[in-house]
Amino acid sequence: MPVKLRLQRKGRKKKPYYHIVAADSRAPRDGRYIEQIGSYNPLTVPATIKLDRDRALEWLEKGAQPTHTVNAMLKMQGVLYRKHLNRGVAKGAITQEEADKKYNKFISAKDEKIRKRTEQARQEKIEEDLKKAGLDAGTLAAIAASQKPQEEKSEEEE
């Protein structure tokens, strides 16, 4: 049975939401699947991808073929890099500890990049909302400065 890692569309009209699934390639797009391994929401900025990296890696090692879109997501989430490192360990090119260290470094860099992009998008949204309200640049700077300490205080209280 040829297995594909692909997207299964959910959500309503003009509000798509996708599940990342392992499915028989002959099954319909939104039909039967073997296992759900994640979700993808393209409407958020940046797009939200939740993926069980271990299960995705297992499916790839079993021979499942990802679609182009899912392949890009796997690359972004570091699953394909992990597969690459595992092949190096199997061939004896590197040790498992070195592979884990490289993978953890890669994942932390990606997570930091996503966190920065999310923060930037949130800041742009605040500025856009304030401009719509008709506030000038000086007021925008004062409000932005007052927002930073409130967030830090709430984090310290928790």
**Predicted pLDDT at 149:** 53
The CATH number given to whatever domain includes residue 28 is: 3.30.1320.10
Buried residues in 38-72 as b, exposed as e (16+ CB within 10 A): bbbeeeeeeeebebbbebbbebbeeebebeeebee
Task: Check whether the bond before 2 is cis (ω within 30° of 0).
Answer: no
pLDDT tens by residue, 66-75: 999 999 999 9
Its pTM stands at 0.78
Residue pLDDT, tens place only, 92-137:
999 999 999 999 999 999 999 989 999 999 888 888 887 787 766 5
The pair of three-digit structure tokens given for residue 146, joined into one six-digit string? 């007052």
Residue 150 within a domain = no
Which of 75, 68, 74 has the alpha carbon at shortest distance from 56? 74
- Number of structural domains the chain divides into: 1
Give me 96's structure tokens. 């498992």
Residue-range definition of the domain harbouring residue 37: 3-112
Tens digits of residue pLDDT in 11-45 = 999 999 999 999 999 999 888 999 999 999 999 88
Angstrom distance (rounded) from CA 124 to CA 139: 15
Model confidence band, residue 10 (pLDDT cutoffs 50, 70, 90): very high
- Answer yes or no: is pLDDT of 55 > 90: yes
